């Protein structure tokens, strides 16, 4: 049996630098190009989308991402992998929905109807409230609070988890608007306030698609796996399971469907690349980057030791596995950064990267301070180093 092709860590880092637009000569011109090549950008924290794109643009800034999201609609916010909110290319939205979100929606709707019924609100009642929400959005974009003023049923409270440790009370609106957003029958538009705000206005979207067949789901999973492997490969089966939230059998079927080729990674682990993607990528020149919390390059898979030393994790990763703001030098995480209340961008290196790195990182910090302008960014998931830098 012929030996498997081998990929060392340097080659994996070179691919990230070029394919994720981090090397100086690989910067992108438009927000759509960045989002498309990252496949999906975490949007749980609104600032992540804007700062992840800005770090990869030839002319860093916020306005081009606002254009793509709010004027042109070429980038959409949508729930997808691991039931997480992402910014994705509009053209990829059907694939994400069919491969992943549809299953989440079915589970969430069944749970919602069960909880509503337990409080005396049957399926017909729920359908009537949904119709009223769509009527409210017919003439203008509205915040969740504004929709609640027009549809008072959304302000009613229900209990869930009675008799359990997670017993709580929720508003109808909190549950129902989230479900309609997952289905896509409501879409997030420009936020109230600045680009860092998580309070979005809502607009009507297309009717929720019919539940996909097993064959349609499998085909969409194949396509999403192909897109991801093209940008993040070589990567392991575990990495794709982690990123998608799919079951192991689904991931294996998707890898087989896109004819992924087995390769050997440093340390002997088995990775996968697309057929025709075995040639080495040219090493980039020296590069530095300050990437935001939850950046997709830093969150690209389960196994991160090839770019994030285990000794750095306690300072940069919270207890749930969410990575904070990171400082990169030549494909490795070497520290973290934060923005202080006065707007200053500060960073701390967790290892000596050398004088060239110090100068390049300082230049990226100055660039980031200009991008932030009057905005103040505090990550939703705070890490020990970020907290220390802002204390």
- Report pLDDT digits (tens) over 213-226: 999 999 999 999 99
The residue extents of the domains of the chain are 288-390
- What is the rounded distance in angstroms from the CA atom of residue 70 to the CA atom of residue 76? 9
Q: Which residues contact 273 (CB under 8 A, 6 or more apart)?
A: 5, 7, 229, 233, 234, 260, 261, 263
CB neighbourhood size of 114 (10 A): 10
Neighbours of 22 (CB within 10 A): 22
| Residue range 128-153: mean pLDDT, rounded | 95
How confident is the model over 309-323, as pLDDT tens digits?
A: 999 999 999 988 899
Instruction: State yes or no: pLDDT of 1 exceeds 60.
Output: no
Q: What is the mean pLDDT of the chain?
A: 95
> What is the average pLDDT across 234-258?
97
pLDDT digit string (tens) for 167-188? 788 899 999 999 999 999 999 9
Residue 367 in contact with residue 61, Cβ under 8 Å? no
pLDDT of residue 186: 94
pTM beyond 0.85: the answer is yes
pLDDT digits (tens, 9 = 90+) for 70-83: 999 999 999 999 99
- State the pLDDT at residue 2: 64
Query: pLDDT tens for residues 52-74?
Result: 999 999 999 999 999 999 999 99
From the CB of residue 234, how many other CB atoms can be counted at a distance below 10 Å?
A: 26
> pLDDT for 249-272, tens place per residue?
999 999 999 999 999 999 999 999
pLDDT tens-digit profile of 8-44? Answer: 999 999 999 999 999 999 999 999 999 999 999 999 9
């Amino acid at each position: 049996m012929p030996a498997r092709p081998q990929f060392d860590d340097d080659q994996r880092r070179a691919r990230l630098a070029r394919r994720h637009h981090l090397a100086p000569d690989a910067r992108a011109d438009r927000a759509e190009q960045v989002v498309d090549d990252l496949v999906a950008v975490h949007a749980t924290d609104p600032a992540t989308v804007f700062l992840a794109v800005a770090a990869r643009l030839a002319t860093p800034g916020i306005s081009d991402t606002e254009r793509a999201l709010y004027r042109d609609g070429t980038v959409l916010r949508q729930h997808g992998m691991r039931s997480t909110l992402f910014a994705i290319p509009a053209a990829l939205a059907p694939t994400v929905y069919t491969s992943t979100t549809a299953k989440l929606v079915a589970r969430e709707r069944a749970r919602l109807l069960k909880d509503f019924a337990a409080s005396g609100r049957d399926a017909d009642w729920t359908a009537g409230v949904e119709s009223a929400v769509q009527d409210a959005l017919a003439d203008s974009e509205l915040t969740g609070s504004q929709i609640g003023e027009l549809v008072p049923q959304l302000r009613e409270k229900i209990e869930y988890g009675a008799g359990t440790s997670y017993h709580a009370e929720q508003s109808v609106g909190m549950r129902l608007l989230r479900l309609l957003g997952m289905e896509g029958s409501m879409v997030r538009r420009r936020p109230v306030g600045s680009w860092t705000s998580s309070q979005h206005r809502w607009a009507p979207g297309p009717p929720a698609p019919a539940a996909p067949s097993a064959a349609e789901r499998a085909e969409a999973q194949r396509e999403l796996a192909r897109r991801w492997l093209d940008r993040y490969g070589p990567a392991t089966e575990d990495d794709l399971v982690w990123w998608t939230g799919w079951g192991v059998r689904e991931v294996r079927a998707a890898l087989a469907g896109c004819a992924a080729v087995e390769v050997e990674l440093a340390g002997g682990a088995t990775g996968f690349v697309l057929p025709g993607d075995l040639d080495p990528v040219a090493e980039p020149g020296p590069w530095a980057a300050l990437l935001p919390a939850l950046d997709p390059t830093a969150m690209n898979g389960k196994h991160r030791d090839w770019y994030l030393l285990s000794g750095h994790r306690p300072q940069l990763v919270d207890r749930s596995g969410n990575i904070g703001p990171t400082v990169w030098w030549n494909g490795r995480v070497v520290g973290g950064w934060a923005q202080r209340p006065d707007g200053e961008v500060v960073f701390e290196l967790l290892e000596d990267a050398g004088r060239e790195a110090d100068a390049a990182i300082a230049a990226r910090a100055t660039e980031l301070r200009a991008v932030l302008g009057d905005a103040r960014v505090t990550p939703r998931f705070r890490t020990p180093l970020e907290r220390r830098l802002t204390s």
